Amino acid sequence: MLLNKPRAYAIMDREGLDGLIAVNAINVYYLSDYWGALMRMRRTFYNYALLPRDETAPAALIVTGVEHLRFFHRPESTWMPSVQSYVHPVYLDRRDFDPDVEDPEHVQYGMKWPIRHDALSPRDEDYLKYMEGNKGNASVNATYALKKAIQEAGLAGAVLGSDDPRVGPWLNQIGLPDLKVRDAWTMFREIRMVKTPDEIALMRKVARINQEALETVIASLEVGMPRDDLETIYNVETAKRGARGIYLATGQNGTNQNLGRVLEGEPITFDGLCEYKNYHGDLGRVAVCGKPRPELVSRMRALEVGCQTVLDVVKPGVTGREVSDAVIDAVRDAGFEGFFFATPHSIGLEHSDHMLPIGPTLPGGNGQFIFEENMIFSLDMPYYEIGWGNLHTEDQLLVTADGVEPLTSCDTSLRICPGAARAAA
């Protein structure tokens, strides 16, 4: 299970909530373990998940009725005991529906697929019985199915939190006038910040995939190769390992754009972000083709001191600001006096998986947090100096009861590649 239930219950208690409604795809996935086709399409408001605070009330997942086939063959697709379906929009568009006559919460789901009765297997027979048992239980759309789930959980007059409170007025409009829905966007982030064992296992894997992919990219460096080619290699290497590259940002000469070709003797930075089963890996390294300048070598050694400082300083109860200050001081003390920026961020279903200021909330920036056990984070240590070059180191770490456990190597040493130029095409 991805969901940190005890933490979710504790935060609901603190905020006076009777339950949570997830609208955003990653939060539906987080609450339910389900990741469906419409979520992959990022089609918002077509899937919901309901988590009641009352542990005896049924948690519910809302899906299109087409997904009955998935749940028949793979009932483990969600842990939630209630799966509420609705008529697939394409099907509903092709039939008459009279809201004054028909009950929008009990539509006769009847996608009329053809059946070859003389060729049915026992499994086919079981599926037809399964579908017959669901007949008449579909709702006319996802919001009506959510209403039904709320009623069955005894929450019709409750106070619920949602990552998109627009669902509140919609639910009031269709027959839940006493329901109150409050904004819980930040609460979802706060819950997700401390990872469960299943999440940690996914994060270990994506960290390993990311490191292997990025080291392969660095090993492919040649003077003169287009920097866009580096991202292509990264995407291929992550895909080979079952993940998906989101971006590989590279930088030279004080810029962080994938422009031009790899230069000899200039540091080149790599910031690789990928995802595996929606969980993110984030890693930063520095390389150079040919002989590095002495100042580059000394600055990179100072950044290594900064990385060691993270390992020494982070533990539960320490703030992100304290870590940033300690790292910057350590790097400067190690001889890199111009270094000024180091920022930790939690990572998981989002690149920055912790509370962030939104809207008019002050202050801005990356948001402040306190490190907690089983939080996973990385520490961005970028440096851009126009006319000199780029640096960027970053590793992924798990906060333990008394420190940290690196999920990537924490080998932030300068990668020195041969300076041979790519042969002309």
Percent of the chain predicted with pLDDT > 70? 89
Tokens matching residue 398: 């798990």
3-class secondary-structure state, position 390? strand
Q: Which residues, including other chains, have CB under 8 Å from residue 345's CB and lie 6 or more apart?
A: 351, 352, 353, 354, 366, 377, 378, 380
pLDDT beyond 80 at 114? yes
What mean pLDDT is predicted for residues 105-116? 68
**CATH class, range 5-192:** alpha beta
pLDDT beyond 50 at 424? no
For residues 115 and 407, the model is more confident at 407
Note whether 8 and 36 are within 8 A (CB).
no
List Cβ<8 Å contacts ≥24 apart for 154-160: 154/52, 154/54, 154/57, 155/18, 155/19, 155/50, 155/52, 155/57, 155/179, 158/18, 158/19, 159/16, 159/17, 159/18, 160/17, 160/18, 160/19, 160/20, 160/21
Sign of the alpha-carbon dihedral angle for 237, 243, 245, 250: negative
Give the pLDDT confidence score for residue 115 in this predicted structure.
Answer: 87
CA 422 – CA 145 distance, rounded (Å): 59
Give the pLDDT confidence score for residue 128 in this predicted structure.
Answer: 86
Note whether 45 and 23 are within 8 A (CB).
yes
pLDDT, one tens digit per residue, over 362-382 is 665 556 789 999 999 999 999
Give the pLDDT confidence score for residue 363 in this predicted structure.
Answer: 61
Give the pLDDT confidence score for residue 129 in this predicted structure.
Answer: 87
Q: Which residues, including other chains, have CB under 8 Å from residue 237's CB and lie 6 or more apart?
A: 212, 213, 216, 217
Tokens matching residue 88: 């697939």
pLDDT beyond 70 at 412? yes
What mean pLDDT is predicted for residues 219-244? 96
CA 71 – CA 78 distance, rounded (Å): 8
19-22/389-393 β-pairing: unpaired
What mean pLDDT is predicted for residues 286-312? 96
CA 271 – CA 269 distance, rounded (Å): 7
Query: What is the residue whose two structure tokens read 């027979």?
Result: 125
48-52/60-64 β-pairing: antiparallel
Give the pLDDT confidence score for residue 327 in this predicted structure.
Answer: 97
Q: Which residues, including other chains, have CB under 8 Å from residue 127's CB and lie 6 or more apart?
A: 69, 72
Note whether 98 and 121 are within 8 A (CB).
no
Give the pLDDT confidence score for residue 257 in this predicted structure.
Answer: 64
Note whether 262 and 227 are within 8 A (CB).
yes
**Structure confidence at residue 70 as a pLDDT band (50, 70, 90):** confident
Domains 5-192 and 197-417 share a fold: no
Give the pLDDT confidence score for residue 138 in this predicted structure.
Answer: 85
Residue type, 332: R
CATH 3.30.565.10 fits 197-417, yes or no: no
DSSP 262: P
- Closest to 403 in 3D by CA, of 373, 366, 378: 373
Give the pLDDT confidence score for residue 148 in this predicted structure.
Answer: 96
Residue 285 region by backbone torsions, left for phi larger than 0, else alpha for psi between -120 and 50, else beta: beta
β-strand partners of 380: 343
What mean pLDDT is predicted for residues 131-146? 86
pLDDT, one tens digit per residue, over 330-355 is 999 999 999 999 999 999 999 988 88
pLDDT beyond 80 at 90? no
Give the pLDDT confidence score for residue 130 in this predicted structure.
Answer: 84
Give the pLDDT confidence score for residue 359 in this predicted structure.
Answer: 77
Residue type, 379: L
pLDDT beyond 60 at 174? yes
- Closest to 281 in 3D by CA, of 201, 204, 215, 344: 204
3-class secondary-structure state, position 386? coil
| Mean pLDDT (the chain, rounded) | 90
What mean pLDDT is predicted for residues 302-323? 96
Residue 243 region by backbone torsions, left for phi larger than 0, else alpha for psi between -120 and 50, else beta: beta
Q: Is the peptide bond before 169 cis (omega within 30 degrees of 0)?
A: no
3-class secondary-structure state, position 308? helix
pTM: 0.90
Give the least confident one: 43-47, 72-76, 159-163, 344-348. Answer: 72-76
Domain-by-domain residue ranges, the chain? 5-192, 197-417
β-strand partners of 377: 346, 397
